Amino acid sequence: MKTAISSLVIILLLTNCAKKECREGNLLSNQINLYFVLPVKVYPAKDTFKIGDTLWIEQEFSDQLANINSGKTYKLANFDFTMGMSIDDLNKPDFATYPNPKIVAFMGRIGGENGNDFIHEYQNNIYRFKAAFIIERKGFYKIGFGGSPREGKGSVSGITTCKNEYYDFDYTVNNKGDNNYEMLQFSVANTFKNYSLDRFNKEGSYCFIVK
């Protein structure tokens, strides 16, 4: 009898501990429990290009990612990190994009209707992607990164067993440096001109001119 009671007490203690480790989240109220930042390298890091130049886009990161909110590390093996790249035209007063970008993958592959979704190669616990964006149009542009894994339920994706924990991903370009944020002040579109540095960095943004 004593053994049975002791076992029950242990089970209850473990259950309570598990509950305490889980946190309630809600996307609508922006309560993101698991917050990860993914690095993106864009190079050469300069502000002016010519037609025919190549802008390289590269990612390499471990499947062990730290939750910025807690410091706890999570293993995301065989996870869908598909990353989309947007290209905004800063010379237009209204929302406009760079049509049909020419992008060639050297590691990983390209997907999506517009050919600007980047699908990583996963090998030896490392995710990798590398592509060349071959510039074919003059103008003033801002690229940014986002993707399908943003704002999801952790228990569905397998990141966590906690039922109501939500996760989000941000992308940081060149370690938040060499991204030409100061060029936004010359944007014709007020939406982008008024971007804060924090928002610019969280969206993995990079500005450049093509002459």
Q: What is the pLDDT along the chain (211 residues), one digit of tens a residue?
A: 444 444 433 333 333 433 445 654 444 444 567 889 999 999 999 999 999 999 999 999 999 999 988 888 999 999 889 999 999 999 998 878 888 899 999 999 999 887 889 999 999 999 999 999 999 999 999 999 987 545 566 556 667 777 767 788 889 999 999 999 999 999 998 889 889 999 999 999 999 999 9
User: How far is the C-alpha of 198 from the C-alpha of 176, rounded, in Å?
Assistant: 9
In the chain, the amino acid numbered 138 is K
The residue extents of the domains of the chain are 26-210
pTM for the model: 0.81
Q: Which of 60, 194, 197, 77 is nearest to 130 (CA)?
A: 60
Q: Are 49 and 135 in contact (CB under 8 A)?
A: yes
The CA angle 72-73-79, to the nearest 5 degrees, is: 135
User: How far is the C-alpha of 153 from the C-alpha of 38, rounded, in Å?
Assistant: 18
In this prediction, residue 21 carries a pLDDT of: 55
